[in-house]
Every structure is written in structure tokens, then in C-alpha cells.
């Protein structure tokens, strides 16, 4: 019997309640879910790759199933192949996400047709949450506790205090 492995990639800067929803649900679809924490040259992260890895590992520790958290800095399909994945798990929040993700899924299929992309719709109550917006809210002194776990909230607030709040 072969193990069905899925990869859920992202920058997770920071990991949000929306990410956690997709992780919990995605873990039920596979025998092993590999959370790929990546760098993204088009984004300027608030947290280092090491900090994000530690954050994600802590947040997923209580989820049932075989969940691994791994960093990568390569093409997603190369990473997925190295992990032995048969699927990429992606979360969708809105139509704008779909257009981008649809294009990415098509490109990824061209790179490796053996790995399918599976889309999970975000829970309706979590659809507006985006890491980028969480950081922006925090940088302007807003309350982010609805969007992240208490531990992540502490880390975000501490980081904002370290780098300086905007608008003050």
C-alpha cells in the first residue's frame, strides 16, 4: 500500500486561522501532509524562515495525522516530487484567488502532470483573512486576535513593537 502525500505550500508569514483550517481539512485527505514553508522573492516577510518554521510546527502540533513542516526554496513541483507528493493542496478565499491559483495549477501541471492540485474553499468565516492584511492591521495598531492564534498574536505584536508601528 502506498502512502498518499500532499503538499500545502505557503509563506505562512504569519500562519493564520485560515491556514489552520486548510491544514486541518487537508490532513484528512492524505496519509501525510507536508507543509512547505517557502521564501517568496515578491514578498517581504515579517518573520525569518526559521521563525516561520517554528511557528507552523507549534501551531500544527495538536492536529491528528502525519504532518511534517519543511522549508523549501525551489520550484513547488520539484519540492513536491522530492516529498513523494501526489497532490498540492491550495486554499481558496475568493474569485481573485481562483484566477491566480487556476493559472498556477495549469503551469504546475505542465511542469509535472503526475501531481494534481486540489482546491479547498476556505470556511466562510475565515475567507477574508490574509497574512498580508494581518501584518498591515498589526503595523497600524489594530487587533489581530480574530485572525491568528493567541501565540501567533503575541509574536506579531512583539515583532511590530520591535520594528515600529506605522501611523504613530
User: Known catalytic residue: 43?
Assistant: yes
Reported as type and span, the H/E element at residue 33 is strand 32-38
Which residue among 17, 19, 52, 135 is the active-site one?
A: 19
User: Known catalytic residue: 145?
Assistant: no
User: Known catalytic residue: 113?
Assistant: no
**Which residues pair with residue 5 across a beta bridge?**
32
Which residue among 52, 90, 131, 135 is the active-site one?
A: 131
User: Known catalytic residue: 93?
Assistant: yes
Which residue among 17, 90, 93, 135 is the active-site one?
A: 93
Task: Determine phi and psi for 68, rounding to 5 degrees.
Answer: -115, 145
User: CA-CA distance, 30 to 166, in Å (whole number)?
Assistant: 42
User: CA-CA distance, 20 to 122, in Å (whole number)?
Assistant: 10
Burial class (CB in 10 A: 0-12, 13-18, 19+), 25: middle
Which amino acids are annotated catalytic? 19, 43, 93, 131
Amino acid at each position: 500500500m502506498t502512502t498518499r502525500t500532499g503538499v500545502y505550500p505557503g509563506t505562512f508569514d504569519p500562519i493564520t486561522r485560515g491556514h489552520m483550517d486548510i491544514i486541518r481539512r487537508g490532513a484528512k485527505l492524505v496519509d501525510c501532509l507536508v507543509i512547505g514553508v517557502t521564501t517568496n522573492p515578491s514578498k517581504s516577510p515579517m518573520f525569518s524562515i526559521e521563525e516561520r518554521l517554528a511557528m507552523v510546527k507549534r501551531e500544527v502540533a495538536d492536529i491528528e495525522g502525519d504532518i511534517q513542516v519543511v522549508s523549501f526554496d525551489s520550484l513547488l513541483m520539484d519540492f513536491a516530487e522530492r516529498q513523494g507528493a501526489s497532490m498540492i493542496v491550495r486554499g481558496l478565499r475568493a474569485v481573485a484567488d481562483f484566477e491566480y491559483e487556476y493559472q498556477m495549477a495549469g503551469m504546475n501541471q505542465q511542469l509535472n502532470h503526475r501531481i494534481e492540485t486540489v482546491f479547498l474553499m476556505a470556511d466562510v468565516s475565515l475567507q477574508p483573512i490574509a497574512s498580508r492584511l494581518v501584518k498591515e492591521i498589526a503595523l497600524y495598531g489594530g487587533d489581530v486576535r480574530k485572525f491568528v492564534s493567541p501565540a501567533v498574536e503575541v509574536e506579531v505584536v512583539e515583532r511590530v513593537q520591535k520594528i515600529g508601528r506605522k501611523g504613530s
